[in-house]
Amino acid sequence: MNVKDKEFEVYISEAKILERTREIATKINEEFKDQDPLFIGILNGSFMFAADLMKAVDIPSEITFIKVSSYQATQSTGKVKELVGLQQNIFNRNIILIEDIVDTGRTMEHLITDFKELGPKSISICSLLYKPEALKADLDIRYVGFEIPNRFVLGYGLDYDGYGRNLRDIYQLKE
């Protein structure tokens, strides 16, 4: 399968993704029963995972979405990430962040620092994919769908240069 200039092959099927997603939801249903969690999906990548996960969550809960914008800071050479679009008051709430993938973990690290300033009761990470070999941050990922090797993937929300998010399966870059 080709997306733009690269060739990809199926890596995790839609059926496997859905099966694992339901297992994670079952755990969340048990562990957050009576906790009134607020799920926060990180756009764009998490939109499919968030939808399928929430269909299997059956405890009282809310879901909202935010975007992480990256911009070049004027005072530094590093990329700064900022959360955009949070409407809810998260003070004293149990937050579950829904991500498509944790790669270096830098995005999550920044987000958690920002969220902590808003005084939530707890923050948990739920990521469909996780590349342990790429991790450069100190993160505790509570729910992980699949641990994968340090190779580029796309589909099921994940993109290559904007394309491929609509694919039902997860694909891996062909060597």
* By CB under 6 A, residue 100 contacts ligand IMP: yes
* By CB under 6 A, residue 169 contacts ligand IMP: no
User: Is there a catalytic annotation at residue 34?
Assistant: no
Q: Which does 12 bind (CB under 5 to 8 A by kind): ligand IMP, Mg ion, none?
A: none
Report the residue from 28, 41, 107, 169 that binds ligand IMP according to the rule CB under 6 A: 107
* By CB under 6 A, residue 12 contacts ligand IMP: no
The DSSP string of the chain is -EETTEEEEEEE-HHHHHHHHHHHHHHHHHHTTTS--EEEEEETTTHHHHHHHHHH--SS-EEEEEEEEEEE-SS-SSEEEEEE---S--TT-EEEEEEEEESSSHHHHHHHHHHHTT--SEEEEEEEEE-GGG--S----SEEEEE--SS-EEBTTB-BTTB-TT-SSEEEE--
Catalytic residue selected from 58, 103, 140, 161 = 103
Near ligand IMP in 38-57, by CB under 6 A: 45
The catalytic residues are: 103
